[in-house]
Amino acid sequence: MSPDLQQNSSYGLRREVLSPMETLAQSVSTMAPTTTPAATIPLVCALAGNGTWLAYVLATIAILLVALCVGRFASYSASPGSLYTYISSILPPWLAAAVAWSLLLAYVATGASVIGGFYHYANLLLRDATGHVFSAVLLSLIVTGVSMWVAYRDVKISARLMLWIEAASVSVIVVVVTQLLARNGLHWDWDELRLRGMTGSGLRLGLVLALFSYVGFESATTLGSEAREPLKTIPRAVIRSSLLAGAFFTICAYAEVLGFHIAGQDLGTSSAPMRLLAGVAGVPALGVVIDIGALVSLLAGTLACITAAARVLMLMAHKGLAHGSLSSAHARNQTPSRAVIVTGIAAVAPVAVLAARGASGLDVYGWMGSLATYGFIVAYALVCVALPRYLRDHGVFRPAARIVPALAAVAMLLALVGNLYPVPEGPYGKLPFVYLAYLAAGLLWYAAGARRRTAPLPEADA
């Protein structure tokens, strides 16, 4: 069957308006790559120590395997429903519904995570500039409101804004990392390369956390109706985003640990690591620039998550998994306007509650990011499991096509086990139950809807 036969309706969205670079920007911005050196790598280092770079190498391999599977699906089907659309005709309906609800949670919780990161960095910069901090709840509402307005208004404006924000932010970090490596000579950090002090359990837990840096790499698939030549550009965007992110994160992980070794400080306890690294690299002014870049990147990440979540919710409404009123697009803007409002509110609501209770931005970033990871891992694993049958149904299956999906599914299974065992302490130990309760509610909604759809119509009175 020809691939273009699998391209679906636009569902009222603007057709083929996004260039390949703008499509790539969606995946890159959902990952919010600037926040990994600033917030995630220190958390990984606290667990994996000198094995931080290795955790990112292994995470890159695992994500690339998943990207190859998603890319195969994306070369045959394009729609706003992303991974849910790919497997809805392969897996049992209830399992496909589990993927849809998991993916929706994943994008919304990632949005909540980066909102938490936003108010952390905003107050960091405001305290330095004015000596005062501002209401975390107010900052959260501002960044979400701006993101919702842009996502509501025009997908092309949204994509271009995300593209330029991430390009500028990542460029400054590359300058600092390059200067750091050049200033300290062409020699290796043998403590890192020999993995001195690293433990197996530390690497395993660090690897699980490193995976959070990549989640959302597949979100370009939600633009199936709006990307130009989606059956070509979306697979390329998915694979390129995982490769580019992997190279960037691994080099940053190595350079950050090296820089903190030189400074004699602990990366795992730093709240603003790029400022210290900029000083070690001899460009201290860029430290503040990177923090500003991280702040703006978190805005782009919030926008990307709402953009992706709204399109998934819109298709779920078309398929009867969500309220029918969410299935329509705005007549003039041709965006899923109602779904944008719902997903934006869903992303900011838990952040506002946690912020009002005094939770730090980095805590919210970690908690909501971990919750999102459960949704992504489950969705990724089931997509990999479904790929061989999908290829067989389309007459393009080869025996070797089992290998990559099997390896990717095993990698995601190991990541899930690493999230669950040993049982994390504190709030992290409750997150699996939050995810399971949410998924159970989604499946009950699906079951109730399926029962209504199959119920016999009442007979007319004689």
pLDDT given for residue 398 in this prediction:
83
pLDDT given for residue 310 in this prediction:
94
Q: Using one digit for the tens of pLDDT, what is the confidence trace for 160-211?
A: 778 888 888 899 999 999 998 888 766 788 899 999 999 888 888 888 889 9
Closest CA to 369 of 296, 428, 418: 428
1 pLDDT band (50/70/90 cuts)? very low
DSSP string for 322-356 = S-GGGGPPPTTT-S-HHHHHHHHHHHHHHHHHHHH
pLDDT given for residue 341 in this prediction:
96
In angstroms and rounded to an integer, the radius of gyration of the C-alpha atoms of the chain is 22
DSSP assigned state of 189: -
pLDDT given for residue 420 in this prediction:
81
State whether residue 238 is helix, strand or coil.
Answer: helix
| pLDDT for residue 462 is more than 80 | no
455 pLDDT band (50/70/90 cuts)? low
> What's the CA gap between 434 and 196, in Å, rounded?
37
pLDDT given for residue 452 in this prediction:
66
pLDDT given for residue 395 in this prediction:
83
247 pLDDT band (50/70/90 cuts)? very high
> What's the CA gap between 161 and 297, in Å, rounded?
10
Q: Using one digit for the tens of pLDDT, what is the confidence trace for 333-356?
A: 889 999 999 999 999 999 999 999
Structure token digits, residue 10: 């636009």
39 pLDDT band (50/70/90 cuts)? confident
Q: Cβ neighbours of residue 83 under 8 Å, at least 6 residues apart?
A: 70, 73, 99, 103, 218, 221, 379, 380, 383
| pLDDT for residue 460 is more than 50 | no
pLDDT given for residue 2 in this prediction:
43
Q: Cβ neighbours of residue 89 under 8 Å, at least 6 residues apart?
A: 390, 393
Q: Which carries the bigger pLDDT value, residue 300 or residue 453?
A: 300
Distance of CA 82 to the CA centre of its chain: 13
pLDDT given for residue 461 in this prediction:
42
| pLDDT for residue 435 is more than 50 | yes
Q: Which of 17-21, 113-117, 285-289 has the highest mean pLDDT?
A: 113-117
Q: Using one digit for the tens of pLDDT, what is the confidence trace for 74-90?
A: 988 877 767 888 888 88
pLDDT given for residue 4 in this prediction:
42
Structure token digits, residue 398: 């080869």
Other residues' Cβ atoms within 10 Å of the Cβ of residue 349: 14
| pLDDT for residue 7 is more than 80 | no
Q: Which carries the bigger pLDDT value, residue 421 or residue 247?
A: 247
pTM metric for this prediction:
0.89
Residue 397, Cβ density class (10 Å: 0-12 exposed, 13-18 middle, ≥19 buried):
middle
Residues 420-427 have a mean pLDDT of 79
> What's the CA gap between 294 and 193, in Å, rounded?
28
Return the percentage of the chain with pLDDT > 70, whole number: 95
| pLDDT for residue 5 is more than 50 | no
Sign of CA dihedral 13, 16, 17, 18: positive
> What's the CA gap between 55 and 206, in Å, rounded?
6
117, 365 contact by CB (below 8 A): yes
pLDDT given for residue 457 in this prediction:
46
Return the percentage of the chain with pLDDT > 90, whole number: 48
pLDDT given for residue 453 in this prediction:
61
Closest CA to 165 of 110, 228, 114: 114
In terms of residues, how long is the chain? 462
Q: Which carries the bigger pLDDT value, residue 256 or residue 394?
A: 256
> What's the CA gap between 270 and 286, in Å, rounded?
17
Closest CA to 281 of 306, 305, 256, 302: 256
Structure token digits, residue 38: 């600033």
Q: Cβ neighbours of residue 61 under 8 Å, at least 6 residues apart?
A: 411
Structure token digits, residue 391: 């290829």
Angle CA(179)–CA(181)–CA(186) in degrees, nearest 5? 130
406, 53 contact by CB (below 8 A): no
Distance of CA 283 to the CA centre of its chain: 31
DSSP assigned state of 79: -
Q: Using one digit for the tens of pLDDT, what is the confidence trace for 365-378?
A: 989 998 998 999 99
| pLDDT for residue 319 is more than 80 | yes
pLDDT given for residue 3 in this prediction:
46
Q: What average pLDDT does the structure give for the chain?
A: 88
